[in-house]
């Protein structure tokens, strides 16, 4: 029997928009705060102890900055992919998150904002990426630097659940979530 593929899902450190309470989605340019850099350095130390053999990041700036900390600590090169981006929130990006509780239908996995993605679309995107990774893994242990909704989608995919059963809790910034995928 083949060994499972171990994924170490790293949520990026705190960004300026996390700190300001703004909806980020796929807004590309948002950098880490000083706390975010500290979180990224700490998660990089944790990641180094887990010995990944490959390091892949979302191509959004906050994830790339986190991945750069991980690369320095692990000695691994970083490759990037849009497949690991956060859920796109379209016209809602940049708005205060607290204003969106009455706008977003958090219970419908097929709802999306104008110009954005539904959770079902995020789930499908992540599932397709994990299928490719499973078929041709760069290592037995792969670190993926990504975003909260993307991690929740990966957790659902790994559990064999659909987009309506994604975990409700988003891992905190600067943490590692471990998943095992059967090959």
Helix (H, G, I), strand (E, B) or coil at 110: coil
Instruction: Order the strands of the 54-58 sheet from edge to edge.
Output: 78-81, 54-58, 141-146, 5-11, 176-181
Helix-strand-coil percent breakdown of the chain, rounded to 5?
Answer: 45, 15, 40
Q: Catalytic: 12?
A: yes
Whole-angstrom Cα distance, residue 5 to residue 131? 11
Q: Catalytic: 61?
A: no
Among residues 85, 158, 94, 97, the alpha carbon closest in space to that of 122 is found at: 85
- Residue 129 neighbours by CB distance under 10 Å: 20
Between strands 54-58 and 141-146, the pairing is parallel
Please tell me which residue in 37, 68, 86, 117 is annotated as part of the active site. 86
Where does the chain have alpha helices with state H?
A: 16-20, 34-50, 61-74, 119-135, 148-159
Whole-angstrom Cα distance, residue 27 to residue 60? 7
Residues catalogued as catalytic: 12, 86
């Amino acid at each position: 029997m083949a060994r499972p593929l171990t994924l170490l899902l790293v949520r990026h450190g705190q960004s300026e928009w996390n700190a300001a309470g703004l909806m980020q989605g796929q807004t590309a340019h948002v950098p880490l705060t000083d706390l975010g850099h500290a979180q990224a350095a700490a998660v990089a130390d944790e990641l180094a102890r887990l010995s990944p053999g490959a390091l892949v990041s979302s191509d959004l700036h906050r994830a790339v900055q986190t991945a750069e900390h991980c690369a320095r600590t692990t000695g691994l090169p970083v490759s990037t992919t849009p497949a690991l981006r956060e859920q796109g929130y379209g016209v809602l990006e940049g708005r205060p998150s607290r204003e969106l509780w009455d706008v977003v239908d958090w219970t419908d996995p097929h709802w999306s904002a104008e110009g954005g993605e539904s959770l079902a679309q995020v789930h499908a995107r992540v599932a397709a990426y994990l299928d490719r990774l499973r078929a041709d893994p760069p290592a037995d242990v792969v670190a993926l630097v990504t975003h909260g909704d993307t991690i929740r989608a990966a957790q659902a995919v790994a559990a064999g659940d659909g987009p309506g059963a994604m975990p409700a809790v988003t891992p905190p910034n600067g943490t590692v979530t471990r998943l095992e995928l059967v090959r």
